[in-house]
Structure 1
Amino acid sequence: MVKTYAVDLTRIGPTHYKATNAAGDSVEFGQGEGLLSPVELLLAAIAGCSSIDVDVVTGRRAESEAFSVHAEGDRVSEQGASRLSSVRLGFDVTFPDTPEGRQAQSMVGRLIAISHDKDCTVSRTVEHPTEVTFTDLNA
């Protein structure tokens, strides 16, 4: 089964953009003060994707007391071309000291691994070769 995702990007101003999905939800990003950069947005997408994987399952047992993820990556230049060479995520998730909370806490490590190995579309796309095609629609 193939599910297609799409966003439309519009320029708000110099190096300031808005991505909007079919439902009308949007996020602004770009270069400059008060904006996430495209690379930071990619890190947020990776962290967000795995966070949802962990949150959905643990949330069926207990509500977390704290849930944060730190995502970072190393930018390298190879023959003048930039990319991230390594992306690291650190999860800090805690639950109440109740039977349900302890059950949820005990699942976190396994759910992080499942997200990485199977469920997180964003990180799996970054880790596997993915064809990206650029087209000038006015050409």
Structure 2
Amino acid sequence: MSEETKQYAVDLTRLDTAVYRATNSVGASIEFGSGEGLLSPVELLLAAVAGCSAVDVDVVTSRRAEPESFDVHVEGDRVNEDGASRLSEVRVGFDLSFPDTPEGNQARKLVDNLIRISHEKDCTVSRTVENPTRVLFSNDSK
């Protein structure tokens, strides 16, 4: 099995108590935390799972026809195991609508297979969540 490596990174900056900004190398950013009106870190994880497969499906279907609607719902069950919490199951549901045209019908027919391929091969986020992945922490505090 050959393995290619591409590194991703974000920097996290504290804006206020439990409010943070994540910024990538090109300057795109998102604020999140436990403050009112913010996505929580778990919700960001869910958004990443849904977003990764949404991109996979969108890029291919949009070449055939522009969707009339493109909605993805994702939810997860938080469980507590001996005082440690995690998500036990994440469910992703697509609700897409394409025009009633030959191109729209072609796009519609691709959706199930594209979701399957994204889940099994292309979506780095869901595949990472499903597989054991080492998470290493360090403390460079001064």
1:84 and 2:84 correspond: no
Give unmatched runs, 5+ long, in structure 1: none
Q: Which amino acid aligns with 2:98?
A: F
State how far apart, in whole Å, the 2-side matches of 1:13 and 1:41 are: 18
Give the paired residue count.
139
Q: Which amino acid aligns with 1:59?
A: S
SS in 1 for 2:126: helix
Match of 2:25 among 18, 22, 25: 22
State how far apart, in whole Å, the 2-side matches of 1:61 and 1:88 are: 27
Deviation digits for residues 52-94 of structure 1 (CA, Å, limit 9, x no counterpart): 0000000110000000000000000001000000000010011
The TM-score normalised by the length of structure 1 is 0.98
The TM-score normalised by the length of structure 2 is 0.96
State how far apart, in whole Å, the 2-side matches of 1:95 and 1:118 are: 25
State how far apart, in whole Å, the 1-side matches of 2:68 and 2:118 are: 21
State how far apart, in whole Å, the 1-side matches of 2:63 and 2:76 are: 31
Q: Where in structure 2 are the equivalents of 1:38-49 lying within 5 Å?
A: 38-49=41-52
SS in 2 for 1:137: coil
CA RMSD in angstroms, aligned pairs only: 0.7
Q: Which amino acid aligns with 1:134?
A: F
- What is the deviation of 1:138? 2.4
Alignment-derived partner of residue 58 in structure 2: 55
Identity of aligned residues (%): 68
State how far apart, in whole Å, the 1-side matches of 2:61 and 2:40 are: 31
1:3 and 2:32 correspond: no
State how far apart, in whole Å, the 2-side matches of 1:32 and 1:72 are: 20
Give unmatched runs, 5+ long, in structure 2: none
State how far apart, in whole Å, the 1-side matches of 2:112 and 2:31 are: 32
Q: Which amino acid aligns with 2:132?
A: P
State how far apart, in whole Å, the 2-side matches of 1:133 and 1:79 are: 22
Alignment-derived partner of residue 115 in structure 1: 118
- What is the deviation of 1:32? 2.0
